[in-house]
């Protein structure tokens, strides 16, 4: 089986450019055979175009993808974020091959003070719920430890 990383980060500032370069370098050492495909906007289309039965796709990460839609460093927020999210969920559900979606659970702490931040937390939480509903496995990683949230045959499955 082959594997490909669908990277969602965009280098909109010097710090992010450096972070992306560090991740590329780390991947070259740790996973030299892993193909990396950078996604600048339409993640659903990228999933549809690259999904194959013998290829594992790793989407990293859903949180960055949504952040760039709702709170871009430059320009206006995407007006079609709900449609893009629906398209992505459909692309994931109909994927020809296996998928791993990486995201950040950001709603475990205090309620954010800012209205825009609260709206983002709520939107990401809803996207997580919709994604989890169609996935066979959901795993929460805490301090490098795996916590099984949903497994085949579990009551939430």
pLDDT at site 41: 82
The answer as to whether 38 is a domain residue is yes
Residue where the block lists tokens 């070259």: 28
* Concatenated DSSP letters of 42-74: -HHHHHHHH--TTEEEEEE-HHHHHHHHHS-SS
pLDDT at site 156: 62
Alpha carbon distances (Å) from 57 to 1, 98, 101, 118: 11, 6, 8, 30
What's the total number of domains in the chain? 1
Report residues of the chain scoring pLDDT below 70.
155-157
pLDDT at site 155: 67
pLDDT tens track for 28-50: 999 999 999 999 789 999 999 99
The answer as to whether 13 is a domain residue is yes
pLDDT at site 75: 85
Active-site residue list? 23
pLDDT at site 112: 86
Residue 133: give its domain's CATH number: 3.40.50.300
The answer as to whether 45 is a domain residue is yes
- Cβ neighbours of 138 (radius 10 Å): 18
The answer as to whether 155 is a domain residue is no
Q: pTM for this one? A: 0.90
The answer as to whether 157 is a domain residue is no
Q: Is the peptide bond before 101 cis (omega within 30 degrees of 0)?
A: no
The answer as to whether 64 is a domain residue is yes
Domain that holds residue 75: 2-150
pLDDT at site 146: 96
């Amino acid at each position: 089986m082959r594997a490909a990383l669908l990277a969602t980060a965009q280098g909109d500032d010097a710090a992010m450019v450096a972070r992306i370069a560090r991740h590329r370098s780390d991947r070259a050492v740790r996973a030299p055979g892993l193909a990396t495909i950078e996604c600048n906007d339409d993640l659903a289309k990228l999933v549809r175009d690259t999904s194959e039965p013998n290829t594992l796709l790793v989407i990293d990460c859903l949180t960055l993808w949504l952040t760039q839609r709702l709170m871009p460093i430059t320009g206006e927020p995407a007006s079609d974020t709900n449609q893009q999210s629906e398209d992505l969920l459909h692309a994931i559900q109909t994927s020809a091959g296996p998928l791993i979606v990486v995201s950040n659970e950001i709603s475990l702490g205090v309620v954010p003070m800012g209205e825009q931040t609260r709206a983002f937390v709520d939107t990401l939480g809803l996207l997580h719920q919709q994604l989890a509903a169609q996935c066979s496995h959901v795993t929460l990683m805490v301090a490098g430890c795996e916590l099984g949230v949903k497994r085949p045959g579990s009551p939430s499955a």
